[in-house]
Structure 1
Amino acid sequence: MDEMNTLRLIRRDRRKRHLRVLSNMRIQMRHLRDTSNPFEASGMVFRGLYRLTKDLARAAIEELRPVLAVGQRVTHIRIEIKVLCALHFYGQGSYQRSVGSDSQGALSQPSVIRAIKEVTEGLNSPQILGNWIKFPRWQNERAEAIRKNYQATGIPGVLGYVDGTHVAVKAPREEEHLYFNRKHYHSINAQIVCDSDLKITNILSRYPGSTHDSFVWVNSGVRERLMDMWAMGERCWLLGDSGYPHEPWLHTPILNAEEGTLEARNTRYHIKARSAVERCIGLLKGRFRCLLLGRKLEYEPRKACQFINA
């Protein structure tokens, strides 16, 4: 009986010491987090960590401040740290534990999960997503977009360029087969529209990887908007590759055109112009590496779609 009591006392003492060590570590990490200033890093180091310049990061923080909840507890995490934590995750494509162990953040894994969730949902809010990713709404805006695209490509009437890109995700539990694409991995098929300046004007990240680009296009809001413009007598169009259906408001290249003909010349101009959206997608994935094929978003599809938008 005495031996059993002794063992209980030893275990209780070990647990108390362990809890004291954890408490001290939390205090030290919290102190490091609250006293650190990531903006003191050099511009090159900062951009390597967060994939944005300091000015752009500050602008993102101020943009998100109204939509992110302000912590009421004394130990709450500053909005600046939350946003930088999410930017680090988007930019590096690494797992949350390594994001939290970053010396600039000093966050536990649960804190990292909450920070990424809050910032991602904030970036998907209508007042932010709709403010930055918007298709030309008014006729004068469309006329300006057409003018800029004509100066860049020499093709009249072009409002933008459309293409699809696959973002790898983990196999979902439900309807897993729908996300298995023709390249033999699970993904979201995201449709992107951009202009000659590589500015994204529309994005549709809703459909699973097995969905063909043409199906995504036919069920997209941007197609409906173009159809309405044509119904009103406004003649403009997007350029897409041969995977899309040729429509009055969507021009695709003329395949197997005989060399030296107007059709072959049109196809050369078309391919050169449409390369803008391919460059746009390449730059997007190069900047925010969580979208790269080799990184795979370890989230269920709905959350992965929010990451793509963000």
Structure 2
Amino acid sequence: MAVNPEFIYFQMNFFEEIRNILNRHHLRLQFRSIRDTSNPFELPNEKFIKLFRLNKTATLELIQDLEMFVNEPTRKDKVPFHLQVFASLLFYSQGGYQTTVGEDYNLGISQPMISRILNKISNLISVHLLPRYIKFPTTANEVINVKEGFLNKGFLFPNVIGTIDCTHIAIVSPKIDHPVTPAVAYLNRKGFHSINVQAIFDSNLMILNVNARYPGAVHDAAIWEASSIHRYCRRRYQEGIRNNYLLGDSGYPIQPWLMTPILDAPPNTPQAVYNDRHIRTRNVVERGFGVWKARFRCLRKDRVLHYSHATAGRIIYACAVLHNICRKYNIQNELDANMNDDEDGNDNYINANDNVNDDILTEGRFIRGQIVNQMVLN
């Protein structure tokens, strides 16, 4: 009986397909086994911190804190939660593409899975941990502690409760014709698309406040004027709480609670002394941004975040929380030495509002003059 060649061809294809299915299934089992048995905690301490930025104690606490807010059934083919956290930490710290993160250390996580994990972990951190780890000083004791922190580090500017500035975090260009967030809204003065992130640092480089809501084309002063911290400072001042100052550069308007440099101060004058002390103290925010971006490289200009503003914002908030956790545990490394944010510079030009003669600006200039006089006496 003659054998039909088409039947032989069908059999060959059929068995080849079965072999491919079995191979893929075996590979999935291998990846699942690797994921379930992977234990980054077995890495040496120095290697662990270099990869994940946190130490083992802080990482374990982070995993335990986040697990409290995860209410989903465990399935054998899902990535274990602790490895989801590790995969996210790798992305934050290395700033590489998702495929690079997913292939590191035999995690066996696909790129789409990494994307979902990153969004999930970033959301958990920004929603549940940000209020715990990022707090602006509001009580009398908190304010005193921040002021004393600046003085104890040798900064000679009085009554400082924080240093403020903005920095640009690069993101992929949104659609040009997007009805809500068109690309032009994110094109900053340096020529790349970004989120303009406002942050306030204390003398220990702890982030006291962070705001990642605004596109790159929005000016620092406009972000400040619309911020909840500005409203809080203004309200407290109106309630009679005085002598609490944030320090900002000349891109901000002078206000009774926000001290800025004196423009064109002649050398060897009290105004020049004021500027020198102001610059030295305000440099804390530049160093803070530098350390933050060096530790979490996904925030750097050359590591563009390929996400929407909402998702990128959650990543930024997560990295701010993790930065403060590093400071809390005093995790020191080479990233903390002489590191300033030199990626996008400052808006050091005269802000138009600074020349408007309204009551707030007038009172701000008056208070700045009083500080100058006090520095002469001291």
| Equivalent position of 1:160 in the other structure | 162
**Which amino acid in the other structure matches residue 115 of structure 1?**
I
Structure 2 counterparts to residues 86-235 of structure 1, below 5 A: 86-103=88-105, 105-125=107-127, 127-152=128-153, 153-173=155-175, 174=178, 175-235=182-242
The change in CA–CA distance for 1:237 and 1:104 in structure 2 (over 3 A counts) is farther
Which whole-Å CA distance do the structure 1 matches of 2:73 and 2:94 have between them? 27
1:82·1:115 contact (CA, 8 Å) conserved in 2? yes
The reply to whether residue 12 of structure 1 matches residue 14 of structure 2 is yes
The reply to whether residue 290 of structure 1 matches residue 298 of structure 2 is yes
The change in CA–CA distance for 1:176 and 1:3 in structure 2 (over 3 A counts) is farther
The range that moved more, 254-263 or 68-77, is: 68-77
2:63·2:85 contact (CA, 8 Å) conserved in 1? yes
Structure 2 counterparts to residues 69-88 of structure 1, below 5 A: 69-88=71-90
Q: String of CA shifts for 1:79-107, please: whole Å, max 9, x gaps.
A: 21111110000000011111111125232
Tell me by how many angstroms 1:2 deviates.
4.6
Which whole-Å CA distance do the structure 1 matches of 2:9 and 2:257 have between them? 79
Tell me by how many angstroms 1:54 deviates.
1.5
Q: String of CA shifts for 1:115-141, please: whole Å, max 9, x gaps.
A: 21211110011x311111111122221
2:201·2:209 contact (CA, 8 Å) conserved in 1? yes
Tell me by how many angstroms 1:109 deviates.
2.2
Tell me by how many angstroms 1:255 deviates.
1.9
The reply to whether residue 274 of structure 1 matches residue 293 of structure 2 is no
The reply to whether residue 55 of structure 1 matches residue 57 of structure 2 is yes
1:290·1:296 contact (CA, 8 Å) conserved in 2? yes
Which whole-Å CA distance do the structure 2 matches of 1:31 and 1:149 have between them? 51
**Which amino acid in the other structure matches residue 146 of structure 1?**
K
| Equivalent position of 2:46 in the other structure | 44
Which whole-Å CA distance do the structure 2 matches of 1:193 and 1:61 have between them? 27
Q: String of CA shifts for 1:37-87, please: whole Å, max 9, x gaps.
A: 111111122122212222221121122121234442133322211111100
The change in CA–CA distance for 1:98 and 1:255 in structure 2 (over 3 A counts) is same
**Which amino acid in the other structure matches residue 41 of structure 1?**
L
1:68·1:79 contact (CA, 8 Å) conserved in 2? no
- Secondary structure (helix, strand or coil) at the match of 1:254 reads coil
Which whole-Å CA distance do the structure 1 matches of 2:236 and 2:151 have between them? 19
Which whole-Å CA distance do the structure 2 matches of 1:72 and 1:245 have between them? 53
The change in CA–CA distance for 1:8 and 1:178 in structure 2 (over 3 A counts) is farther
| Equivalent position of 1:249 in the other structure | 257
Which whole-Å CA distance do the structure 2 matches of 1:4 and 1:229 have between them? 86
Tell me by how many angstroms 1:292 deviates.
0.5
- Secondary structure (helix, strand or coil) at the match of 2:196 reads strand
Q: String of CA shifts for 1:233-265, please: whole Å, max 9, x gaps.
A: 111120001111111111111121001111100
Alignment partner for residue 247 of structure 2, among 235, 239, 247? 239
1:91·1:289 contact (CA, 8 Å) conserved in 2? yes
Count of aligned positions: 309
**Which amino acid in the other structure matches residue 283 of structure 2?**
S
The change in CA–CA distance for 1:192 and 1:223 in structure 2 (over 3 A counts) is same
Which whole-Å CA distance do the structure 2 matches of 1:102 and 1:277 have between them? 33
**Which amino acid in the other structure matches residue 312 of structure 2?**
A
Which whole-Å CA distance do the structure 2 matches of 1:276 and 1:69 have between them? 40
| Equivalent position of 2:310 in the other structure | 302
2:35·2:80 contact (CA, 8 Å) conserved in 1? no
**Which amino acid in the other structure matches residue 26 of structure 1?**
R
- Secondary structure (helix, strand or coil) at the match of 1:59 reads helix
**Which amino acid in the other structure matches residue 132 of structure 1?**
Y
Alignment partner for residue 37 of structure 2, among 15, 28, 35? 35
Which whole-Å CA distance do the structure 2 matches of 1:177 and 1:110 have between them? 29
- Secondary structure (helix, strand or coil) at the match of 2:68 reads helix
Tell me by how many angstroms 1:289 deviates.
0.3
**Which amino acid in the other structure matches residue 135 of structure 2?**
K
1:146·1:158 contact (CA, 8 Å) conserved in 2? yes
The change in CA–CA distance for 1:26 and 1:87 in structure 2 (over 3 A counts) is same
**Which amino acid in the other structure matches residue 55 of structure 2?**
T
1:68·1:119 contact (CA, 8 Å) conserved in 2? no
TM-score (norm 2): 0.78
Structure 2 unaligned runs (5+)?
Answer: 319-378
User: Computing the radius of gyration over CA atoms, which structure comes out larger, 1 or 2?
Assistant: 2
